[in-house]
Amino acid sequence: MNVPNQIAGDFLSLLNAHAIPPLSTKVTDAAPLQTQATTVFAFQFADGVLMAGDRRATAGNMIVTDQVEKVIELDATSLLAIAGVPATAFEMARVLQSSFEYYRRSQLQSLSLPAKVRALARLLRDNLPMTMQGVGVVVPIFASVDQTTMPPQPRIFFYDPLGAQFLAVGYAATGSGSMSIRSVLSYQERYGSLKPSAMSLDEAVRFALRLLMTAAEFDSATGGVNPAEHSFATIRVLTSTGIVTIGTDQQRSALADA
C-alpha cells in the first residue's frame, strides 16, 4: 500500500485518508443505559509514577462487574487510566496502541511524548459529538516517560472530556470517587509526614490501596479493596525504564505489612 509522505507515521491521518473513522459518533434516542468505569488516579512516588484504579463498572445504580481493568498499557513507556464509558475508552486505547506501534515501525523510532499527549487529545475531540450528547464520555489520565530530560522522567497528564490536556503537578484523579482521592493526595503532599513523592514502592502501593478504600466509603460506584474477599485494585508503576504490574499477592503483602 502506498502511503502519502504527509501522513507517513501518523496512524490517525492514515485512517482519515481512507475514510475510516477511529470512533463511531452515531447516537439514537433509544440509546441504552451506559456502563460507566469509575475512579482512577496517578501520583508521583520516589521511583516514578503509580497509576491505579478500582475494578467496578456501573450502569445507573446497578453494579455491572467488579472485574474491569482500567489501567491499560499502551506501549513500553505509556499508561492510560480510563474513567467514563468503557466501550469508548477501550476503543481509544486500542487506537492509541495501534498508532504508537505504527509510528514505531514505520519511522523506526518511538513517538515523542508531546505527540502521544496530542494523539489522545485528538481522539477525545473526535468523540465530541457523543460527549455533547452525554453518551460515550471519557475522562482519562495519561502517563508516559519524557525522554528529553536527564535522566528520563515519567510525567502525568489529565484531560477534560473535550480534549484539553494538562500536565499534572504530582498527582491526578478522575471518576466518581476522585474528589475524595484528590483531597487526601493534596493533604498528604502538603502536610503529611511522608509525602507521596517521597514514598518507596511498597509505601506507595499501600497508600494507593488505602485511597481506594477511602473513596469507596463515600462513593457507591467505587469498588473497594477487600483482602478478605480477594478484591484488589489494578495498579501499574511507570519508571524511566518501563512498566511493572503490581499483582494481588504484592498488594496483599503491602497491606499486611502496615
Q: Which residues pair with 155 in a beta bridge?
A: 144
Q: What is the CATH number of the domain that holds 150?
A: 3.60.20.10
Q: Is residue 45 part of a domain?
A: yes
What digits encode the pLDDT tens for the residues 214-251? Answer: 999 999 899 989 888 889 999 999 999 999 999 999 99
Residue 17 forms part of a structural domain: no
∠ CA 34-158-96 to the nearest 5 degrees?
70
Res 200 pLDDT > 70: yes
Mean of the pLDDT values across residues 88-113?
96
Classify residue 23: in a domain, yes or no.
no
Q: Which domain holds residue 200?
A: 35-256
For the chain, the DSSP string reads ----GGGTT-HHHHHHHTT--SS-----TTPPPPPEE--EEEEEETTEEEEEE---EEETTEEEES----EEEEETTEEEE--B-HHHHHHHHHHHHHHHHHHHHHHSSPPPHHHHHHHHHHHHHHTHHHHHTTSS-B--EEEEEETTSSS-EEEEEEE-TTS-EEE-SSEEEESTTHHHHHHHHHHHHHH-SS-GGG--HHHHHHHHHHHHHHHHHH-TTSPPPBGGGTB--EEEEEETTEEEEE-HHHHHHHHHT-
Q: Binning pLDDT at 50, 70 and 90, where does residue 171 land?
A: very high
13-44 residue pLDDT tens: 777 777 777 665 555 554 555 667 689 999 99
Give the whole-angstrom CA distance, residue 21 versus residue 98. 14
- pLDDT of 150 higher than 80: yes
Considering the domain boundaries, does residue 246 fall inside one? Answer: yes
Contacts of 204 (CB under 8 A, 6+ apart): 43, 45, 46, 50, 196, 237
Q: What is the model's pLDDT at position 12?
A: 72
pLDDT value of position 229: 86
Share of the chain above pLDDT 90, in %: 74
Share of the chain above pLDDT 70, in %: 90
Cell representation of residue 90:
477501550
Question: Is residue 29 included in any domain, yes or no?
Answer: no
Which residues have C-beta within 8 Å of that of residue 163, sequence separation ≥ 6?
A: 121, 122, 123, 124, 125, 128
Q: What is the pLDDT of residue 28?
A: 52
The reply to whether 7 falls in a domain is no
Point out the residues that are catalytic. 38
Query: How many structural domains are present in the chain?
Result: 1
Is 19 inside any structural domain?
Answer: no
Q: What is the pLDDT of residues 127-140, one digit of tens each?
A: 988 888 878 899 99
Domain assignment present for residue 1? The answer is no
Give the mean model confidence (pLDDT) for residues 166-180: 96
For the chain, the average pLDDT equals 90
